Amino acid sequence: MNEREQFLFDLQGFLKVENFLTADEVGACNAAFDANWDQRQDDPNHHPDGNTYGPVRRGMFTGMLTWDKPHCQPFRDLLAHLKLIPYLNTLFGRGWKMDHSPFMLTGGKGTEGLVIHGSTARHFDDSQYYIYRNGQMRCGMIVCQFQLADVNEGDGGMCVVPGSHKANFPVTQEIRRWEQDQQVVYNVPCKAGDLVIFNEATLHGTLPWTAEHERRSLLYRYSPKTLHFAGGTYSVTQPDWVSELTEAQQAVLEPPYIYNRPLINDDGSVEKPRRG
């Protein structure tokens, strides 16, 4: 994560990384979704009021890590992508973990958005936060959104309120519902293959989709090694398919703990420090 990127993330609470995925990686993900289109379901996050309303329900895909081969492979490859690791090590320190299962949001013209949400800095939230100490940024949960289709200016989809991860006052309901002060809400334009990393504390949401082509946004969420945001319980025994993953990919799926945790280096190698 270079100096420019660190400055922008600290300033804005999000960062766009252009051309993160290759055309082949984008193509493999899209081909996998096309082959498993029967797995599409309605997104359970639904807010029918306010200006984020749209007449069409958002579509959602989950469970891609366990799809039949070869369709699971492009999503497993993203778990500890070599280009992503240095960003996560900068924002978390080593020892971060996956939080939530990956999912993709989709929908054509007229698809609804989602009310703007997040956590401003007025109260400390130990699951959604941003701090800077001694030359280091540290975050609660962050989201990595890989765009598998172009998002042109005004198309809708992902939006943020830049700098809101440091806000000292609560956001108004009118802004959350995109009914007032719309100029502070930024609809992030992207090309297929671009990545947007944003802090969960940064106010973010989804604007109604207006483009003729389909939206395809793939989301991976990561948390510090001590945090589990999503709820639910962890099993001590991993599913059989986890043994098929690389050592780094397996480390990403470890539950939250500190001692003897496998740590992923920037080059993708894994070390296992021992502590008494």
Q: Is residue 232 part of a domain?
A: yes
Q: Is residue 127 part of a domain?
A: yes
Q: What is the CATH number of the domain that holds 112?
A: 2.60.120.620
Which residues, at least 6 apart from 257, have a Cβ–Cβ distance to it below 8 Å? 225, 226
The pLDDT of residue 234: 62
Domain of residue 177 covers 3-271
The pLDDT of residue 162: 97
User: For 20-77, how does the pLDDT look when each residue is reduced to its tens digit (9 = 90+)?
Assistant: 999 999 999 999 999 999 999 999 988 778 999 999 999 999 999 999 999 999 999 9
Q: Is residue 276 part of a domain?
A: no
Q: Is residue 19 part of a domain?
A: yes
User: Measured on CA atoms in the order 46, 125, 145, 115, is the torsion positive or negative?
Assistant: positive
End-to-end CA, the chain: 33
Which H or E element spans position 137?
A: strand 136-139
Place of tokens 């947007």: 196
The pLDDT of residue 233: 64
Which residues of the chain are under the pLDDT cut of 50? 276
- How confident is the prediction for the chain on average, in pLDDT? 93
Q: How many C-alpha atoms does 275 have within 13 Å on its Cβ side?
A: 8
What's the structural domain count of the chain? 1
